[in-house]
Chains A and B, each alone.
Chain A
Amino acid sequence: MDRREFLKLSAAASALAACGGKHNILPADIDPLGHHTGEVPTDKMTYRTTPSTGDKVSILGYGMMRLPHKPIMPVAGSSDASAEEIDQEQVNRLVKYALDHGVNYFDTSPAYCRGLSEQSTGIALEASGYDRSKYFIATKMSNFSPTQWSRAESIKIFQKSLRSLRTNYIDYLLLHGIGGGGMDTYRGRFVDNGILDYLLEQREKGVIRNLGFSYHGDIEVFDYLLSRHDEYKWDFVQIQLNYVDWHLAKQVNPSNTNAEYLYGELDKRGIPAVIMEPLLGGRLAKMPDHVVAALKQRRPEDSVASWAFRYAGTKPRILTVLSGMTYMEHLQDNIRSYSPLQPLTQEEQEWLEGEIANLFVSYPTIPCTDCKYCMPCPYGINIPAIFAHYNRCVNQGDMPESMQADNYQAARRRFLIGYDRAVPRERQADHCISCRQCVIHCPQSIQIPEQMRRIDDFVEKLKQNKL
């Protein structure tokens, strides 16, 4: 066939294709380059209903804690090269994209992103052009510091939330992080100052449409608040749930409680659950190779993260699953996982909770979810970055275990050079002074100073070749 003939033929073929629209050569979900990623559906999102208000909430909720940042061009005279600010333009794009694809729940807090998350969320939602009734805003009473425990200070926080979010009502308001510091802290933050009564009042007035709490830490506070459900009528509760925490929460972290128990308690009372840490701060997406292989074998084309999202979404009492999506690719992947949700089978759930979770906890990673509640460390330590570097090396199976190991020299070099790349010297673990100010802030109850010292000892042994 010469060139002219070929052109004629192909012209005819395309004409045919154009006439009979149904006769697409390619299947709909494969783009012309053969990528299976295809289009991200805009109208297939799964929704769940809030019993109290009848809200149709998308099962994917947008967590505004891990907003994209960009470096600030260093100003002359400032020595801190690591200064960053929120990339508002990108936040706007992500929020608009999420709304366009059916996501309608946005979860923020006055404490997130150095206190700038609410404002950024407010700007992005307003810029999206969607009517206020089309999306739901969740924010929190984040009066963690004892300087904020007074009634006046706490109310100020709530008023500021409304202002920053550019709205006159909050769809979902949470008592933020109850359980940290035990019952005494709970009473100090919400009972003695009458803030809980104030918030209940606001719910009566409709300024707060749904009232709930988020829980980490001391299980006594969780049980206590649920025991008062008849009085407070919690509209929803936010808990940490994923396939590792279902049975093995204690192994990830001795002070955590199994998600099975938390979910069970809510289910019993008919309270819908909002899920946080479905990915354990991304750790269930960045899995060791063994685990990736096992998951991929079952569904080669699905992301590792999609298993965790489908797992969380499969439980019927779950209202929405929060994900702090920093990157567009994460947002798109999660939308695909939930458009619509394909629930896991009983066997798949048990496989994740059992075999995969056990494999995961067998790697000695530090249970940091990079929530940055510990930050800023007053002495400048970059706590999450140090843990992230350590965990990355553990997950890659690339830890210099002992000087006798075959890979010792190469692994030592990778660990030490990687450490300097990830964290500037003066922000590394050896500068932790064990002042313990961070410990109370960690929702995962990590004993940060002890872990810092452990990593520092390890680094010291590597440097001195005494491992």
Chain B
Amino acid sequence: MLKLVRRILALFFWVGITMLFLDISGIFRTWFSWMSHLQFMPSVMRHDHVILPLLLIATLLLGRIYCSVICPTGILQDLFSWVAGWKVFRQKRKTALSNRFHYSEPKQWLCICILVLFIIMTIAGFNAITVLIAPYSAYGRMVIALLRPLYIMLNNILASWSEANDNYLFYTIEPQQLPAVLLWIAAASALILLVLSLLGGRTYCNTICPVGTILGFLSRYSWLQINVDEDKCIKCGLCERNCKASCIKVSKGMPVHIDHSRCVVCGNCQQLCPKSAIRYSHPTSAISHQTPSNSTLSRRSFLTVSASMLTAAALKADEKTTDGGLAIIEDKEIPIRNTPLTPPGSLSARNLQQHCTACQLCIAQCPNGILSPLQSFDSFMQPEMQYTKGYCRPECTVCADVCPTDAIRPITIEDKTAIQIGRAVWISKNCIPLTDGVTCDNCAVHCPAGAIQMVPKDKGYTFDADSAHWIDEYGNAADPKTTLMIPVVNTEKCIGCGSCEYHCPSRPFSAIYVEGNEVHREV
């Protein structure tokens, strides 16, 4: 019974969270966002006063159900284990894979060392280490890097079918450009989890995972625990050989020992016990409560400052003599920003760095494809905005909606119009009216904040406030269709959305780009 309930709930959570990372339509985002908000590390990061106590209380009451039902990495290991137990695999190896576990001594010193190391690293700001072992973000990375490309490929196959049949069920999604290091890390995590789960069940959860260690402190004293009725027990050892957590020790003439700090309440032992000697109930022994050490985490950040050098290479309008064909469009290159751009709601790059667990959910969900994982050591795999393939569209707050850690705080569309995450900077040597000698006002036209105006390139013009026209020295109004104009930015209105940078025709470097604000501000 316990096992069945656990399996149903676990499957529900696992599919929900996995789909949250895979989703391209936005449906799962609407219905299953709360699942990512239930995760432990994200709750710690966002200092959640409701979810976090709830998770701790649940553990104190029921044991480590978090690890077997809510944590996707935990469920993934169970799945590996389960698949390995299938008949097809069993037949190849004479030694049955079920019955393959055995009790191991607790490696508490290792757990505590890793936990202490984890907390120190997190406080010190060595992001790379912390995001590598945090279970939820590790899972996110694996799905994003390994599963999502396949999912997108499948979607695109369906989209081409859809297009061929002239219906609009599926549409093509451009695969995300992910850094190779993300791929390697995800593949390594998956491989390690696979090997560990096949060899030792929940080894990862009970030796490496810092969340497992914290919850283990509590589950030792939980109200409901797995107990053995010594009167019924015949010491067959079936429970020990099937305990994924390797926490049951059966020895002749001794009461069965269960290490409750490692037990994830999976119920496998209860279901297998031939004598129904295993119960999930309140132990007879006295309970002493111990409050967990729950440090609010903050980190020091190192902001690297790098000089920006932008080379100009504008697309030249060739003299046209024949008709048809398409001009080749050079890919845009990412400008070097002194301060990285982070989504509205993240308050500052520093705040994001301190609160983000690098789960990649925002990166997967961004409908504009402008978020990508950073590779620097101090903000390892955390999101950064780039405007080469799109810009931060005014009607969208998806990253803020999905962020489970509140590293990107929830904002409304109206809030967004007043948050300045950076400001546009004009690079005259790339600007098309100056390089190609043709009129262009695409940045001004597409600015949703109305922060960009066009002014005549020649200083001879004066602005006539009465007619709202530019007047040349002979008193004639400038014709906006023919007069070469250049953009000027009103920094007070600019919100840094990157529409100008994205729409700028200058390639590979835009003639107007967004420089990040150290701290986001209201305009």
Separation of A144 and B319 alpha carbons in the complex (Å) = 10
Scan residues 310-348 of chain B and give those whose CB is less than 8 A from a CB of chain A: 315-329, 331
Separation of A463 and B448 alpha carbons in the complex (Å) = 13
- Tell yes or no: B445 within 8 A of A by CB: yes
Given contacts A378-B320, A433-B432, contact A427 B440 (CB under 8 A): no
- Tell yes or no: A168 within 8 A of B by CB: no
Q: Mark A391-431, 1 if CB is under 8 A from B, else 0.
A: 00000000000000000001001100110110001110011
Does B322 contact A111, Cβ atoms closer than 8 Å?
A: yes
Separation of A188 and B390 alpha carbons in the complex (Å) = 44
Does B323 contact A420, Cβ atoms closer than 8 Å?
A: no
- Tell yes or no: A61 within 8 A of B by CB: no
Does A114 contact B171, Cβ atoms closer than 8 Å?
A: no
- Tell yes or no: A37 within 8 A of B by CB: no
Collect the chain B residues with CB atoms within 8 Å of residue A206's CB: none
Does A436 contact B439, Cβ atoms closer than 8 Å?
A: yes
From A145, A453, A463, contact of B445 by CB (8 A): A453
Separation of A373 and B441 alpha carbons in the complex (Å) = 24
Chain A interface, DSSP helix/strand/loop, else mixed: loop
Collect the chain A residues with CB atoms within 8 Å of residue B322's CB: 110-115
Given contacts A115-B321, A433-B441, A464-B394, contact A376 B327 (CB under 8 A): yes
Given contacts A82-B326, A417-B168, contact A435 B320 (CB under 8 A): no
Does B321 contact A435, Cβ atoms closer than 8 Å?
A: no
- Tell yes or no: A219 within 8 A of B by CB: no
Does B327 contact A144, Cβ atoms closer than 8 Å?
A: no
Collect the chain B residues with CB atoms within 8 Å of residue A413's CB: 168
Scan residues 444-464 of chain B and give those whose CB is less than 8 A from a CB of chain A: 445-446
Scan residues 384-399 of chain B and give those whose CB is less than 8 A from a CB of chain A: 389-390, 393-395
- Tell yes or no: B260 within 8 A of A by CB: no
Does A418 contact B328, Cβ atoms closer than 8 Å?
A: no
Does B171 contact A427, Cβ atoms closer than 8 Å?
A: no
Does B321 contact A79, Cβ atoms closer than 8 Å?
A: no
Q: Which residue of A lies closest to B162 (CB)?
A: A417
Collect the chain A residues with CB atoms within 8 Å of residue B438's CB: 433, 435-437
Does A378 contact B327, Cβ atoms closer than 8 Å?
A: yes
Collect the chain B residues with CB atoms within 8 Å of residue A414's CB: 168
Does A145 contact B317, Cβ atoms closer than 8 Å?
A: no
Scan residues 485-523 of chain B and give those whose CB is less than 8 A from a CB of chain A: 503, 505
Collect the chain B residues with CB atoms within 8 Å of residue A167's CB: none
- Tell yes or no: B268 within 8 A of A by CB: no
Separation of A440 and B503 alpha carbons in the complex (Å) = 24
Does B315 contact A379, Cβ atoms closer than 8 Å?
A: yes
- Tell yes or no: B189 within 8 A of A by CB: no
Separation of A112 and B321 alpha carbons in the complex (Å) = 10
Size bracket of the B interface? 35 or more
Q: Which residue of B lies closest to A379 (CB)?
A: B505
Scan residues 425-455 of chain A and give those whose CB is less than 8 A from a CB of chain B: 425-427, 430-437, 441, 453
Separation of A379 and B389 alpha carbons in the complex (Å) = 16
From A82, A111, A375, contact of B321 by CB (8 A): A111
- Tell yes or no: A328 within 8 A of B by CB: no
Collect the chain A residues with CB atoms within 8 Å of residue B446's CB: 430
Q: Give the size of the chain A interface in residues (CB under 8 angstroms).
A: 49
Does A380 contact B326, Cβ atoms closer than 8 Å?
A: yes
Most buried by B among A372, A382, A434, A435: A435
Does B503 contact A430, Cβ atoms closer than 8 Å?
A: yes
From A148, A431, A435, contact of B317 by CB (8 A): A435
Does B171 contact A420, Cβ atoms closer than 8 Å?
A: yes
Chain A nearest CB: distance from B349 CB in Å?
28
Chain A nearest CB: distance from B393 CB in Å?
7
Separation of A463 and B481 alpha carbons in the complex (Å) = 28
Most buried by A among B324, B329, B395, B438: B324
Collect the chain A residues with CB atoms within 8 Å of residue B503's CB: 430-431
Does A433 contact B440, Cβ atoms closer than 8 Å?
A: yes
From B324, B390, B393, B440, contact of A435 by CB (8 A): B440
Does A80 contact B329, Cβ atoms closer than 8 Å?
A: yes
Chain B nearest CB: distance from A300 CB in Å?
24
Does B323 contact A79, Cβ atoms closer than 8 Å?
A: no
Chain A nearest CB: distance from B318 CB in Å?
6
- Tell yes or no: A377 within 8 A of B by CB: yes
Chain A nearest CB: distance from B414 CB in Å?
13
Measuring CB to CB, which residues of chain A are less than 8 angstroms from any residue of chain B? Answer: 65, 79-80, 82-83, 110-115, 144-145, 147-148, 371-380, 382, 410, 413-414, 417-418, 420-421, 425-427, 430-437, 441, 453, 463-465
Ranked nearest first, the 9 interchain pairs of A and B with the lowest CB-CB distance are A378-B317, A115-B322, A435-B438, A433-B440, A372-B324, A380-B329, A114-B325, A417-B171, A464-B395
Q: What are some 24 contacts across the A-B interface (CB < 8 A)?
A: A80-B326, A80-B328, A113-B322, A113-B323, A115-B321, A144-B320, A372-B325, A376-B324, A376-B327, A378-B327, A380-B315, A380-B329, A382-B326, A413-B168, A418-B168, A430-B442, A430-B503, A433-B432, A433-B438, A433-B442, A435-B432, A435-B436, A437-B438, A464-B393
